[in-house]
Amino acid sequence: MMRYVVHSVKMLMKSAMQYRSSLLMQVIAQFVMTGGELMAVTVLLSRFRVIGHWGAAEIMFFFGVMQSTFALTELFGRGIAAFQGFIGRGEFDSVLLRPRPLLLQVMCSQLDPRRLGSFIVGLAAIWMAAVQLKIAWTAAKALLMAEVVVCSVMLLLGLFLIEATMCFFSVKSIEMVNVLTYGGRSTCQYPVDIFPTPLRLLFTYAAPVALCMHWPISWVLGQPMVVLAQGWYYVTPLAGLVFFALMAAIWYAGAKHYRSTGT
């Protein structure tokens, strides 16, 4: 199975590299766009040095983790994020004919190397924040951050699967799901505990970004949002895997109702 994934990624990357100048310009464009968001956050924090009980460098750390994980999600999961067009063009018909798992084929159908620009900005924000905060990195913290990234990517893929599932029933009027995907990225690049209770509940239990990302990160930063035994900070990110598994099951159920929409 992994050999199929690796082969698909290699082929898609090779295809993208056929137009290197175009790809480079698109990566730079993404870098500039996300860099603009970083500058906006920097300007905001220069005016309000503390938001809630979080300082500028700490908020920058949250920003960097969200941007980098979201970029990885769009880089490798573009097939799910762009599933509406996949259905509209009737390309899902050919997927049904191949002897491979449907969801895996969709995920491996597209690669978006442009998101490397956003990923670099996210890493830069994390590095700058970590230097300012003088985080004492240990093996336990590094392992937790790696788990946070993996589980957050799976959570974000699960959120995109909500929109993908709706495409089986309608290829129109599904933009409201962007409240949880792109809207969630904009919201959750800040610590979730600075928001009103309804938003905190939404992004803790319905779309568990706080469980996957914010609670563990707050522990790494030495200001836990929720006081738990240390071992539990390695458990809460697993909510992303559970959420993805649940959304994948719903997506497969929706696939049974698919009717070709191609022309």
Token pair 């906006």 in the structure block, residue:
40
Cα 168 from Cα 174, distance rounded (Å):
11
**pLDDT reported for residue 121:** 92
* Terminal CA-CA length for the chain: 32
Q: What are the structure tokens assigned to 189, written together?
A: 């690049």
**pLDDT reported for residue 248:** 94
CB 251 within 8 Å of CB 164: yes
Cα 236 from Cα 213, distance rounded (Å):
9
**pLDDT reported for residue 61:** 94
Helix axes 20-47, 56-76, angle to 10 degrees: 160
pLDDT tens track of the chain, all 263 residues?
667 667 676 777 777 777 778 778 888 888 888 888 888 878 877 777 777 788 888 999 999 999 999 999 988 888 888 888 788 777 888 888 877 788 888 887 788 888 888 899 999 999 999 999 998 899 999 999 999 999 999 999 999 999 888 888 876 656 667 777 888 888 889 999 989 999 899 999 989 999 999 999 999 999 999 888 989 999 999 999 999 999 999 999 988 888 776 55
**pLDDT reported for residue 172:** 63
CB 160 within 8 Å of CB 248: no
CB 72 within 8 Å of CB 40: no
**pLDDT reported for residue 4:** 64
Phi first, then psi, for residue 54 (nearest 5°) are -100, 135
Do strands 54-55 and 50-51 pair parallel, antiparallel, or not at all (unpaired)?
Answer: antiparallel
- Measured torsion, CA atoms of residues 251, 70, 76, 254, in degrees rounded to the nearest 10: 10
In eight-state DSSP terms, residue 238 is G
Cα 216 from Cα 209, distance rounded (Å):
11
